[in-house]
Amino acid sequence: MKVLVGVSRIFVGVLFIISGLIKLNDPVGFSFKLGDYFAPEVLNLPFLEPYALIIAVLVVILEVLLGVMLIVGYAKKFTLWSLLLMIGFFTFLTFYSAYFNKVTDCGCFGDALKLTPWESFTKDIILFVLLVFLYKGKKYIQPFFSKGLRSIAVFVSLILCLWLGLHVLEHLPVIDFRAYKVGANITKGMQTPLDAPKDVYQYTWSFDVNGQQKTVVNRGEDPKIDGSLLGVETSVLQKGYEPPIHDFSIERDGTDYTTQMLEEEHLLVVIAYNLDVAQNQGFIAIKAATDTAIEKGYTVIGISASSTPETEKLAAKYQLDFPFYFCDMTALKTIIRSNPSIMNLEKGTILQKLHFNDVDQLKLKELKKTPLTVTTAVKVVDSIN
């Protein structure tokens, strides 16, 4: 019993620490996930949406601290009760997501490890059982180190968590687990291999045979039933391959410029996924950086999910000398967590992604001349109009 409790204690503690640190590396991403849960069509808690980021930071720090406290044996009863309440709440959320198919990714391990709703629920059930087991055998949980050293360990963990949380909020995640990480090629990420598995569908055919309804279920073959077809329903039996990047586009006035832009030799992209919540002071530094890039011969564009009138108003206010294009907000949130931010591309390959606080770290090449691009053409058309 003592050995089992000891092994379970370390396993659960380490799992909570890893899960918490992964989310603390990207609290903005976790706040997006909480926002999905708070939405009217899910838990209907819209009044919590403005506080999603604060809640996200507090929850992940608590998750890490409870993992540390469990391992070192600090405040056993409080730690175990807190872990039970936390995992109980998470179990409810993952079951709700799985059963009602509301939020398809719980974000338990951020973008590092994607779990289906039912996989997340199963994981939480296992953790809940282990925590109940630990609570029953709490007398076997012997503390490590002296009381003073345990307190220092918890305090140091808190300070490190606060530092990491503040650092990634003021800059970007330390480790990028997303498909848009530096070094990735967006064009390749959007492609589907020829030998990639396809979706497998199940077909449910309904026929009227001599006044009686007959149902046939297959993979799409002609049932060859001597009767009148009443209808057919299809459902996905097995999901096929989905490219890691599948919702990225660059559009303007109904025209898709994605391919042209991703073929640009030197492209600087200003990303502002939603101007309503953008930190406008960031555009001051971005203005200076983009002016320098244009002087050096770079093609510079902005992409946003906000409307054209909004982006034009922003461009006029900060004297931004480049046009804005449209892209899906979810895709832009996935690309980079800063709003606004800068992404440096070379023929679709991401060379740099920078928070607006770090635009002074932008690395630009000296180009011989500015090529005529789609962006230049758009500017000419706009000036004529």
Query: Across residues 309-331, what is the average pLDDT?
Result: 95
Predicted pLDDT at 377: 45
End-to-end CA distance of the chain: 80
Q: Give me the pLDDT at residue 291, please.
A: 96
Structure tokens that stand for 213 in this block: 């309804």
State residue 368's pLDDT score: 62
Tens of pLDDT, residue by residue over 43-67, are 889 999 999 999 999 999 999 999 9
Rounded CA separation 268/261 (Å): 10
Q: Does the pLDDT at position 182 exceed 80?
A: yes
pTM: 0.83
* Arithmetic mean of pLDDT over the chain: 90
8 A C-beta contact, residue 108 and residue 21: no
Compute the distance between CA of residue 63 and CA of residue 69 in angstroms, rounded to an integer: 10
Residue 378, pLDDT > 80, answer no
- pLDDT higher than 70, residue 145: yes
Tens of pLDDT, residue by residue over 332-346, are 999 999 999 999 999
Confidence bin at 115 (pLDDT 50/70/90) = confident
**What mean pLDDT is predicted for residues 123-137?**
94
Q: For residue 193, say if its preceding peptide bond is cis, omega within 30 degrees of 0.
A: no
Check whether 371 has a pLDDT greater than 80: no
Q: Residue 34 in contact with residue 56, Cβ under 8 Å?
A: yes
Q: Which amino acid, 205? A: W
Cα three-residue angle 318-320-325, rounded to 5 degrees:
120
d(CA 321, CA 290): 8
* Portion of the chain with pLDDT greater than 90, in percent: 69
DSSP three-state, residue 183: coil
Retrieve residue 373's tokens: 């691009």
Confidence of residue 105 (pLDDT cuts 50, 70, 90): confident
User: Is 264's pLDDT higher than 80?
Assistant: yes
Residue 23 pLDDT level (bands cut at 50, 70, 90): very high
Strand, helix or coil at 248? coil
Do 79 and 69 contact (CB within 8 A), yes or no? Answer: yes
The most confident of 44-53, 107-116, 222-231, by mean pLDDT: 44-53
Averaged pLDDT for residues 3-25: 94
- 369 pLDDT band, cuts 50/70/90, is low
- What domains appear along the chain, each with residue ranges and CATH number? 2-170 (no CATH), 200-238 (no CATH), 251-384 (3.40.30.10)
Tens digit of each residue's pLDDT (9 = 90 or more) over 189-198: 999 998 889 8
Most confident stretch, 142-151, 264-273, 369-378: 264-273
**pLDDT beyond 60 at 300:** yes
The arithmetic mean of pLDDT across residues 111-117, rounded, is 84
Lowest average pLDDT, out of 1-15, 225-239, 259-273, goes to 225-239
The SS3 call for residue 236 is strand
Pairing of strands 228-238, 200-209: antiparallel
Distance CA 169, CA 164 (A): 9
State mean pLDDT over 310-318.
95
pLDDT digits (tens, 9 = 90+) for 158-173: 999 999 999 999 999 9
Concatenated DSSP letters of 319-372: T--S-EEE--HHHHHHH-SSSSEEEEEETTEEEEEEEGGGGGG------SSPPP
